[in-house]
Amino acid sequence: MKEKKQEEEAQFEIVYSKIGKRLRKLRKEKDFTSGEHFAHEYGIKTSQYMSWERGQNMTLASLLKLARIHEIKLSELLSDVD
């Protein structure tokens, strides 16, 4: 049972990491070379935004906010991350 839980957690970490990479790509498509500048422009704490790009501390609310910022549906933000 413990091994299965560890395996699931590892899979989630991979998915979160892919979401973070997707966020970085979307930020760069908006011509923001720095996560700090992006966060400042959109009123997000820099440390929080940078943790999202690292695939950490994500919530549904944060993902919805980021999808709105990038003017895409949540499903588009999460595409190809599973």
pLDDT in tens, 11-67: 889 999 999 999 999 999 999 999 999 999 999 999 999 999 999 999 999 999 999
Give residue 39's Cα distance to chain centre: 13
CATH code of the domain in which 60 resides: 1.10.260.40
Evaluate whether residue 17 is within a structural domain: yes
- Tell the residue number behind the tokens 């935004």, with chain if given: 49
Evaluate whether residue 62 is within a structural domain: yes
- pLDDT at position 20 is 96
Query: Which amino acid is it at 34?
Result: S
| Alpha carbon distances (Å) from 18 to 3, 31, 46, 73 | 23, 20, 20, 17
Evaluate whether residue 13 is within a structural domain: yes
- pLDDT at position 76 is 93
Q: Place 80 in a pLDDT band, splitting at 50, 70 and 90.
A: confident
- pLDDT at position 34 is 95
Please choose, from the candidates 68, 51, 41, 47, the residue with its C-alpha nearest in 3D space to the C-alpha of residue 33.
41
Evaluate whether residue 82 is within a structural domain: no
Evaluate whether residue 11 is within a structural domain: yes
| Predicted structure pTM score | 0.87
- pLDDT of residue 1 exceeding 80, the answer is no
Range of the domain at 51: 2-77
User: How many domains is the chain partitioned into structurally?
Assistant: 1
